């Protein structure tokens, strides 16, 4: 856009990204366990996730057979600390900025989605889309 990084960063307090995911229907919701192969295919450690119950909707009249009813947001929030601002101004690689943000406690979209899965709000398949 032709804006100098210093001018751009000085105007920002934070950056928020969000995605909408479908919510499992409460009327036909059932809890299941996934085999290790499914967990691995989703990028999860089977040892850490093997005992977790996952929500799925089987489909009913309330959700028109979809298994979902409504949507909710998963989000990631990057608070621009002085260190992160400095990295942006110095045009550091995105990978370095992400690493620094993670060290400062940033929760990424994937982590937010997995938390919604743990809570039984959405499905693993939904956040993998």
Domain containing 104 — which CATH number?
Answer: 3.40.50.300
Nearest to 97, CA basis, from 111, 109, 107, 83: 83
Q: Which pLDDT belongs to residue 4?
A: 75
| pTM for the model | 0.81
Q: Report whether 69 contacts 25 (CB < 8 A).
A: yes
Residues facing residue 15 across a β-bridge: 78
Give the range of the structural domain holding residue 25, as residue numbers without chain letter: 5-128
pLDDT by position in tens, the chain (length 129): 677 777 777 778 888 999 999 999 999 999 999 999 999 999 999 999 989 999 999 999 999 999 999 999 999 999 889 999 999 888 899 999 999 999 999 989 999 999 999 999 999 999 998
The total number of structural domains that make up the chain = 1
d(CA 64, CA 89) in angstroms, rounded, equals 50
Phi, psi of 23 (to 5 degrees): -95, 135
Measured CA to CA, the distance from residue 120 to residue 56 in angstroms comes to 8
């Amino acid at each position: 856009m032709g804006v100098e990084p210093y001018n751009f960063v000085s105007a920002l307090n934070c950056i928020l990204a969000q995605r909408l995911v479908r919510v499992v229907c409460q009327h036909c919701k059932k809890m299941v366990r996934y085999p290790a192969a499914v967990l691995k295919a989703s990028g999860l450690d089977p040892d850490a996730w093997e005992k977790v119950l996952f929500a799925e909707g089987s489909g009913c009249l309330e959700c028109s057979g979809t298994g979902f009813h409504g949507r909710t947001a998963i989000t990631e929030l990057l608070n621009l600390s002085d260190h992160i601002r400095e990295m942006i101004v110095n045009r550091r690689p995105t990978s370095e900025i992400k690493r620094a943000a993670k060290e400062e406690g940033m929760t990424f979209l994937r982590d937010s989605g997995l938390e919604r899965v743990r809570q039984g709000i959405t499905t693993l398949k939904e956040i993998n889309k």
